[in-house]
Amino acid sequence: MQPTQDSPAPLTSRFPRLRSPRMNATDAHRKPRKDAQAGFWFGIGAYGVWGILPIYFKAIADVGPVEIVAHRVLWSVPFLALLLLVMRGMGGVRSAFRKPKVIGFLCVTALLIAINWLLYVFAVTSGHILAGSLGYYLNPLVNVLLGRLVLKERLTKLQWVAVAIAGAGICALAVQALGQLWISLALAVSFATYGLLRKVAPVDAVAGLAIETTLLLPAALLWLGFGIARGGPVFGPSPSDTLLLLLAGIATTVPLILFTAAARRLRYSTLGMLQFIAPTLQFLCAVGLYDEPFTVAHAAAFGGIWLALAIYVLAIIRAPKAASSAMTPE
């Protein structure tokens, strides 16, 4: 029944703030939760793919690490350009280039991810998958420290205990296996710093990665061009190597897109705890598929890291409010 001119207008039309306050509050609460749930699954996907990448890199071990990274950059650019066209994301790229601060961030993250890629490919192709696995086990705890020191995320006493135990594991490896420890530490620090900067940089996941790879493209082309001039097999010594190198763009960009999408939706320390998936799969590849030696030093280091991760997860379980807030983006 429509109100007549003499009848008073509904209160909700005269006072807009009275309209469905519960619905507004519920919607406001649901969106962060949905974002956090999406971020959780994005993180699962990213770390799952990274966990099995050693199999891919082992298959092209005859190609040098620098050449592999150059191909990762080269073939990522057209794949990302296609994604941007499909997703109509070129506006994000243009917007980023109008902000010198954002481009400055992405120059740094491009350098960090290039260093991380090179170190990891070197570790896999030279038979040090365990060292790479340890680096990515350490990364969650580096994330926790960066989250505390840079983003001011609070840590409980149990979480600090987890960090201390992980540090003891690192010391055990340093005493007996110093030759591989630098790989682990460099991988952990470079990727944790990359993730931190990508979390705070105001740019979309795909657009940001497209800009990063574009910034690295000239160096990649120069390296491959230099290899061709020397007569080297920069596309691999066999047709199967060539095919796998052509797929490097997909193998590179898919997990990174998932990771950056997760990083923008989750607390950084929470994101770090998902990372145990990747190094666990890498560890299984190293020991189960490629028979890398597992020494007493490795046992002490991995044992410390696993115990630290268990304590950290226990700290979250024991504090339901902290766990709830940890799954909510800030």
What average pLDDT does range 210-229 have in this prediction? Answer: 93
Residue 247 · residue 20 · CB < 8 Å: no
Residue 149 · residue 282 · CB < 8 Å: no
Tell whether the model's pLDDT for residue 33 goes beyond 50. yes
Lowest mean pLDDT, pick from 62-76, 82-96, 153-167, 279-293: 153-167
Mean pLDDT, rounded, of the chain: 80
Scanning the structure block, which residue is given the tokens 């199999």?
A: 55
Residue range 86-116, pLDDT digits in tens:
888 888 899 988 988 889 989 999 999 999 9
Exposed e or buried b per residue across 281-297, where buried means at least 16 C-beta atoms within 10 angstroms of its C-beta: bbbebbbeeeebeeeeb
Residues in the chain: 330
Q: Would you state the pLDDT for residue 238?
A: 87
Type of residue at 308? A
Lowest mean pLDDT, pick from 42-56, 220-234, 271-285: 271-285
Backbone angles phi, psi at 61, to 5 degrees: -65, -20
Taking alpha carbons only, the member of 198, 329, 201, 184 closest to residue 269 is 329
Taking alpha carbons only, the member of 151, 259, 286, 156 closest to residue 198 is 259
Residue range 213-222, pLDDT digits in tens:
999 999 999 9
Rounded CA Rg of the chain: 23
What average pLDDT does range 70-99 have in this prediction? Answer: 89
Distance separating alpha carbons of residues 46 and 61, to the nearest angstrom: 23
Angle among Cα 286, 288, 294 to the nearest 5 degrees reads 60
Coil, strand or helix: which one is 2?
coil
Distance separating alpha carbons of residues 47 and 275, to the nearest angstrom: 6
Residue 212 · residue 102 · CB < 8 Å: no
What average pLDDT does range 298-313 have in this prediction? Answer: 80
| Domain spans, the chain | 39-326
